[in-house]
Amino acid sequence: MTMGVQSAELLDAVRSRARDAGVFGEDIRIENGMLICPAKNPAAPADYRVTVDDNGVVWVELVTADRWLSESVETDLVHTGDKLNELIDEELADLGWEGDASTFEHFRSDDLLFTFRSPVPDRSPEAVTTWLLAYEQCFRQLGDIDDSGEDD
């Protein structure tokens, strides 16, 4: 089995689980070799993604083209003094993750998307889904990623 086939099977399995979770927007899809799960109720368009890079590393990401939306997340972190990796780790623990702690990167990508991303240390569909859901739970509470006006 090639890496491409394994990656496609992984993304398809995670897509099914993401749909079942019911926490993302409706247009969950696989496109250009990545799983795209729209954020539900963001102030500006934002997507959670699962990608597999050329080295086989699986990444979970939150991306937006909107600088203001990205800055709203950053501002929340500055005002609360919270560390993003600690918030992600809390959500992972709540979802039963007992593996490695998270790390993250935050940058503007070559395609001009403001990106928060973490490598997933386990390529199983269950682990990748757990990380994707932890990302959603973490970021939903930051900035204007959930602009529905509802408190959890």
Residue 102: per-residue pLDDT: 87
Mean pLDDT of 68-97: 94
- What is the chain's alpha carbon radius of gyration, rounded to the nearest angstrom? 15
Q: Which region among 3-7, 46-50, 144-148 has the lowest average model confidence (pLDDT)?
A: 3-7
Residue with tokens 């500055």: 78
Residue 148: per-residue pLDDT: 77
Q: Which of 67, 53, 60 is nearest to 36 (CA)?
A: 60
Residue 6: per-residue pLDDT: 85
Would the pLDDT of 91 be above 90? yes
Q: For the chain, what is the mean pLDDT?
A: 92
Would the pLDDT of 152 be above 60? no
Would the pLDDT of 13 be above 90? yes
Would the pLDDT of 147 be above 90? no
Res. 3 pLDDT band, cuts 50 70 90: very low
Cα–Cα distance, 151 to 106 (Å, whole number): 26
Write the Ramachandran bin of 64: left for phi over 0, alpha for psi from -120 to 50, otherwise beta. beta
Cα–Cα distance, 129 to 44 (Å, whole number): 24
Q: At residue 133, what are phi and psi to the nearest 5 degrees?
A: -70, -35
Tens-place pLDDT, residues 22-41: 999 999 999 999 999 999 99
Tens-place pLDDT, residues 33-70: 999 999 999 999 999 999 999 999 999 999 999 999 99
Residue 46: per-residue pLDDT: 96
Q: At 119, which amino acid appears?
A: P
